[in-house]
Amino acid sequence: MEKNWGLHHICIVVKDIDKAVKYYQSLGIITMKPEFENKELKLRFVYVNETPIEFVQPLAKESTFQKFLDDKGEGMHHLCFSVDDLAKETAKLTKKGVKVLGGKSQISFDTREVGNCILELKQIE
């Protein structure tokens, strides 16, 4: 239970992932392996001390991340927390009226009302 609601990562959507990673590396941030890429997005993790930051560059024109980039520009998309019991925490949030946006192993919640940031929960493995 000690790790319940521990920060898993901060997600930042960018136009050019290589430029973003290079910039943060120049500030002394180390890129984490492995990197991930598919038809829809490029994804890379970097750490600021022990805080993981996930950079996402959308590749598909019709995607959640591309819509975010088009509507808001580059910036923080979501905060992801690890939880002990994903079903239990999902039930708590939905009981409080928080809308589920989607997901299975990671659930996204619409918490954009305050701070314009999505909340994501991931089951501790």
Contact 97, 30 (CB under 8 A): no
* Separation in Å, CA 9 to CA 39, 50, 77, 106: 23, 10, 11, 12
Could you tell me the end-to-end alpha-carbon distance of the chain, in angstroms, rounded to an integer?
12
Phi, psi of 94 (to 5 degrees): -70, -35
Domain ranges of the chain: 6-123
**Tens digits of per-residue pLDDT, 15-49?**
999 999 999 889 888 777 778 899 999 999 998 88
Query: What is the widest separation between alpha-carbon atoms in the chain?
Result: 44
CATH topology of domain 6-123: 2,3-Dihydroxybiphenyl 1,2-Dioxygenase; domain 1 (3.10.180)
Q: Does 2 score more than 70 pLDDT?
A: no
**Tens digits of per-residue pLDDT, 87-99?**
999 999 999 999 9
pTM passes above 0.85: yes
Q: What residues contact residue 22 under an 8 Å CB cut-off, 6+ apart? A: none
The pLDDT of residue 79: 97
* Across 6-20, average pLDDT: 95
Encoded amino acid at 108, one letter = S
The pLDDT of residue 1: 42
- For residue 105 the two structure tokens come to 């192993």
pLDDT band (50, 70, 90) for residue 62? very high
